[in-house]
């Protein structure tokens, strides 16, 4: 796995970098594990745009990822490492001993031919999954559940990894990739290792068209708009007295929007290091 550079045939190519895809071993996905992915252009059921700057992009199919890993104590063999256009990391095609196939996120160090297993007696090696209470402290983990049986929700992006730092009673303390320290039930499952494709953060897209291929549309600064379109728009010069707000007047860029008081007690240390 590495970063590929290009000859500067055009101005955009001079700054552009990409993947060398050296870890990819299979070009086409397993058809039975894919589903049609309709493009709604970030609109809701009434047709109104609910998420800005999304739309278009290349046609793709969704890969069904096993975030539950609830096939307990059944060994599986890694058949291939594949590219997934719907996420930043790579995915691994595994085949269980009973013939069932599924996709999992490919961690660093997982190669074709390796064996993975999910269960209480699984070894501490990349790709295996087991409850947090049975994982030694200091282990790097990913695919962490927040509720038992719900499926992994934390640490699923390319190159990220959480760290199990301690255990207190029925809870484990996990340091998330953002720096936040959170309590998670010991019966929640997690996968061992760091998510692969660590070079994702080093990619330079090079040109706007490459982002459009991925379904990302341009974003316009509020100060460049007219007053009717944005609270920061208009004026003969550059205004400096405005506070950052959304087009609908809501504060942003640092304004706290968290209102989930139900799980506030589960956060030991916030990611901004001020909520001790």
For residue range 219-251, what is the model confidence (pLDDT) as tens digits?
999 999 999 999 999 888 777 778 899 999 999
Instruction: Determine what percent of the chain is predicted with pLDDT higher than 70.
Output: 98
DSSP code of 245? B
pLDDT at 274 over 90: no
Q: How far apart are CA 136 and CA 166, in angstroms?
A: 9
Q: Which residue has the tokens 């559940």?
A: 145
Q: Is residue 85 a contact partner of residue 77, using CB atoms and an 8 Å limit? A: no
φ/ψ region of 75 (left if φ > 0, alpha if ψ in -120 to 50, else beta) reads beta
pLDDT for 275 equals 44
pLDDT at 254 over 90: no
Average pLDDT score over residue span 31-45: 92
Q: Is residue 103 a contact partner of residue 66, using CB atoms and an 8 Å limit? A: yes
To the question of pTM greater than 0.75 for the whole model, the response is yes
Per-residue pLDDT tens digits for 142-196: 999 999 999 999 999 999 999 999 999 999 999 999 999 999 999 999 999 999 9
- Helix and strand counts by DSSP (H, E) for the chain: 2, 17
In the chain the domains, ranked by start, together with CATH numbers, are: 3-201 (2.40.50.140), 220-276 (4.10.950.10)
Q: How far apart are CA 112 and CA 163, in angstroms?
A: 26
DSSP for 119-165 reads: STT--SSTT-EEEGGGSPTT-EEESEESSTTT-EEES-STT--EEEE
pLDDT band for 276, please (50, 70, 90 cuts): very low
CA dihedral sign, ordered 123, 77, 152, 179:
positive
Q: φ, ψ for residue 102 (rounded to 5)?
A: -160, 165
Q: Is residue 158 a contact partner of residue 200, using CB atoms and an 8 Å limit? A: yes
DSSP code of 13? H
Average per-residue pLDDT for the chain: 93
Which residues touch 92 (CB under 8 Å, ≥6 apart)? 78, 80, 81, 82, 103, 104, 105, 106, 110, 127
Per-residue pLDDT tens digits for 55-114: 999 999 999 999 999 999 999 999 999 999 999 999 999 999 999 999 999 999 999 999
pLDDT for 124 equals 96
């Amino acid at each position: 796995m590495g970063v590929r550079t290009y000859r500067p045939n055009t101005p955009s190519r001079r700054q552009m970098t990409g993947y060398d895809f050296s870890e990819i071993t299979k070009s086409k996905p397993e058809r039975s594990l894919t589903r049609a992915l309709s493009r709604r252009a970030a609109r809701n059921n009434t047709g109104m745009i609910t998420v800005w700057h999304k739309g278009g992009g290349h046609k793709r199919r969704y890969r069904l990822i096993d975030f539950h890993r609830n096939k307990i104590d059944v060994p599986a063999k890694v058949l291939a490492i594949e590219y997934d256009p719907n996420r930043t990391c790579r995915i691994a095609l595994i085949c269980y001993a009973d013939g069932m196939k599924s996709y999992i996120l490919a961690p660093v160090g997982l190669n074709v031919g390796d064996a993975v297993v999910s269960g209480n007696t699984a070894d501490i090696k990349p790709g295996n999954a087991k409850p947090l209470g049975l994982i030694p402290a200091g282990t790097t983990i990913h695919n962490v559940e927040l509720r038992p049986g719900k499926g992994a929700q934390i640490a699923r992006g390319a190159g990220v990894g959480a760290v199990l730092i301690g255990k207190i009673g029925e809870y484990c303390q996990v340091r998330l990739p953002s720096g936040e320290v959170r309590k998670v039930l010991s019966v929640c499952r997690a996968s061992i290792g760091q998510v692969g494709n660590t070079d994702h953060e080093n990619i330079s897209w090079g040109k706007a068209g490459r982002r459009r291929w991925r379904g990302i549309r341009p974003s316009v600064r509020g100060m460049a708009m007219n007053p009717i379109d944005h609270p920061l728009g208009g004026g003969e010069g550059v205004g400096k007295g405005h506070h950052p707000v959304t087009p609908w007047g809501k504060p942003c860029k640092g304004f706290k929007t968290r209102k989930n008081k139900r799980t506030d007690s589960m956060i030991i240390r916030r990611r901004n290091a001020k909520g001790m």
